[in-house]
Amino acid sequence: MNVSYVPPSPERIADALIKALDERGRHPSQYDVFLSYATSDASIATDIRDALNEKGLLCFMSAKELKGGDNFGDVICNALRNSREVCVLFTPHSAKSEWVLTEWGAAWALKKRIVPIIHRTDIDSLPDRLKSKHVIDFSNLKTYVEQVRDRRSP
């Protein structure tokens, strides 16, 4: 019998993430923003993270948070659960990223605020669920950071 591995669909991954989050319960937010991005866009994502950090906002960025030996699925799951909102850096690379799709899909199911930031693309290229959100152009990053800071203030 020849058995071949078929990777799970993004929907199955999102369902598993949501189930794991529900089983662990909710905890107070540790991060102001969970930054979802394609690995190819790490330098642009770092610019977003740095802009948030400069204003005293805590941002989860997998490349900065993951340590050797970490189960990245568990770390990402915990960070999604423990973030106030999700920023999706949407680029031609992230449009093809299964992880980006999974992360913002799980955030949508968890009813997290999702803010798409577009870079080198336009609103028409966004998936329909993201088109329904107010989109920020990367050139207006300062505006986004101010909005996050305002939402965090009591």
The pLDDT value given to residue 26: 44
Say what the alpha-carbon torsion angle 94, 98, 104, 107 is, to the nearest 10 degrees.
Answer: -160
Render pLDDT for 92-120 as a digit per residue (tens, 0 to 9).
999 999 999 999 999 999 999 999 999 99
In the CATH scheme, what is the code of domain 10-152? Answer: 3.40.50.10140
Give the pLDDT confidence score for residue 27 in this predicted structure. 46
Backbone torsions φ then ψ of 133, nearest 5 degrees: -95, 155
Residues of the chain with pLDDT under 70: 1-3, 5, 15, 17-28, 154
Q: How far apart are CA 6 and CA 96, in angstroms?
A: 18
Per domain, the residue ranges of the chain are: 10-152
Measure CA 33 to chain center.
Answer: 8
**CA neighbours within 13 Å on the CB side: how many for 89?**
24
